[in-house]
């Protein structure tokens, strides 16, 4: 069934990107989704990330399932964990369409969606119903701020409170390029009060276990900004950093005529940039903060490169557009082979070994 994507891919690529995505979600909600399967995971892939036990380190990045419609279907596809969102407190339509562009020649996507989502109330209901029915896998919730909000920090705090008990971890998305000014929250002067408020809220959420809190970073940060963020992450003992988001840059090698569309670029052209940024954050944090590697991952070798550069786990999304659901199984298979080739009996043993 997984190979069937090769048959429907030409049809999907002829559709508008957003329409194709909506069709994909409908298929994942249908009985056909039961035919999908990620296969059994090799024991070498099992890992513990931020205290969360995962069957494998391959996660679905935020953006695919913005409204928590199909998290269990994606887990059945073979992902070790799924991150839903970005979700804002109030429903948000996002930017005008068209707002997603496939760069076919580059295996990349440009999007300027702008946190379009159903809002916290509806997503909370879906996640509550899901938790009542199934606890088959681990779910992260990616939280954002409404574009027109007068207090973005309050939006993040409200989101964290609203989803209390529904996520296995929470991601603060302050790096989307499609909400004007949002990335300014990554500066030291803005990030410090945000973390102060968020960590205070988290302390009130659970007396038994503090839910892990991650911050998602842009790939376009300057060296000085990276240093500031790393220093604050270590100071506040942040549970993890996601490195990183889409880029506003346009690598010179892009071939698609759509390359000048505004928005965040994701996919294969980010591979080198994202890997370099991961290495930088690993060095700056001294390995004390768990890292998630994201951006341009489309193979087991890509995943292994991030693991060895310091990522505890990885996430992907754009490569699924071009490779289809069978990609998850292939990455896990090839990652397992690479671990065995190099004598690692567990994925955690390989984390950060590139610098040794």
Closest CA to 179 of 156, 198, 200, 212: 156
Q: Which two tokens stand for residue 100?
A: 């997603």
| Ramachandran quadrant class, 59 (left: phi over 0; alpha: psi -120 to 50; beta: rest) | beta
Beta bridge pairs of residue 142: 171
356 vs 345: CA distance, rounded Å: 18
* Residues tagged active-site: 176
Listed in sequence order, the residues at least 6 apart from 341 whose beta carbon sits closer than 8 Å to its beta carbon are none
Q: In the chain, what is the greatest distance between 2 CA atoms, to the nearest angstrom?
A: 54
Q: What's the pLDDT score for residue 2? A: 46
pLDDT tens digits for 14-71?
Answer: 888 999 999 999 989 988 776 777 678 999 999 999 999 999 999 999 999 999 999 9
C-alpha 61/C-alpha 244 separation (Å) is 10
pLDDT at residue 203 in the model: 87
Q: What single-letter DSSP state applies at residue 151?
A: -
DSSP 96: P
Nearest to 335 by CA among 34, 6, 1, 39: 39
Domain of residue 267 covers: 2-355
Q: Judge residue 349's burial from the number of C-beta atoms within 10 Å of its C-beta, 0-12 exposed, 13-18 middle, 19 or more buried.
A: middle
Q: Render pLDDT for 121-158 as a digit per residue (tens, 0 to 9).
A: 999 999 998 865 555 689 999 999 999 999 999 999 99
CATH number, domain with residue 123: 3.20.20.70
Measured in degrees and rounded to the nearest 5, phi and psi for residue 170 equal -130, 135
Pairing mode, if any, of strands 47-49 and 52-54?
A: antiparallel
Per the structure block, which two tokens stand in for 184? 């300014």
Residue 78: Cβ within 10 Å count: 25
**What's the structural domain count of the chain?**
1
Q: Which residues is 265 bridged to in the sheet?
A: 110, 247
Q: Which residues of the chain have pLDDT under 70?
A: 1-4, 6, 34, 38, 131-136, 206-208, 356
Whether the bond between 98 and the residue before it is cis, its omega within 30 degrees of 0, is yes
CA distances (Å), origin 273, targets 83, 219, 267: 22, 7, 11
């Amino acid at each position: 069934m997984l190979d069937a994507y090769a048959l429907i891919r030409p049809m999907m690529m002829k559709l508008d990107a957003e329409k194709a995505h909506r069709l994909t979600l409908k298929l994942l909600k249908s009985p056909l989704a039961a035919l999908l399967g990620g296969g059994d995971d090799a024991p070498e892939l099992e890992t513990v990330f931020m205290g969360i036990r995962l069957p494998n380190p391959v996660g679905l990045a935020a953006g695919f399932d913005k409204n928590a419609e199909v998290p269990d279907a994606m887990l059945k596809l073979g992902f070790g964990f799924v991150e839903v969102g970005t979700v804002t407190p109030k429903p948000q339509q996002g930017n005008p369409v068209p707002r997603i562009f496939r760069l076919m020649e580059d295996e990349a996507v440009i999007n300027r969606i702008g946190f379009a989502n159903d809002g916290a109330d509806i997503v909370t209901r879906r996640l509550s119903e899901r938790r009542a029915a199934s606890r088959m896998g681990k779910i992260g919730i990616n939280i954002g701020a409404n574009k027109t909000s007068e207090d973005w920090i309050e939006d993040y705090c409200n989101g964290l409170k609203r989803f209390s008990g529904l996520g296995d971890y929470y991601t603060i998305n302050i790096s989307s390029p499609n909400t004007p000014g949002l990335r300014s929250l990554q500066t030291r002067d803005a990030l410090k009060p945000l973390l102060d408020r968020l960590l205070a809220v988290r302390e009130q959420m659970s007396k038994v276990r503090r839910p892990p809190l991650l911050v998602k970073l842009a790939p376009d940060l300057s060296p000085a900004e990276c240093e500031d963020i790393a220093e604050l992450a270590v100071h506040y003992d942040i549970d993890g950093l996601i490195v990183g988001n889409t880029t506003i840059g346009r690598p010179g090698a892009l071939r698609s005529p759509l390359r000048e569309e505004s928005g965040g670029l994701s996919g294969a052209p980010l591979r080198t940039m994202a890997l370099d940024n991961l290495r930088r954050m690993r060095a700056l944090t001294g390995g004390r903060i768990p890292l998630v590697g994201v951006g341009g991952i489309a193979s087991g070798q890509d995943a292994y490169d991030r693991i060895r550069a310091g990522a505890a786990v990885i996430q992907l999304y754009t490569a699924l557009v071009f490779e289809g659901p069978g990609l998850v199984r292939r990455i896990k298979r090839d990652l397992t082979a690479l671990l065995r080739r190099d004598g690692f009996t567990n994925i955690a043993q390989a984390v950060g070994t590139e610098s040794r």
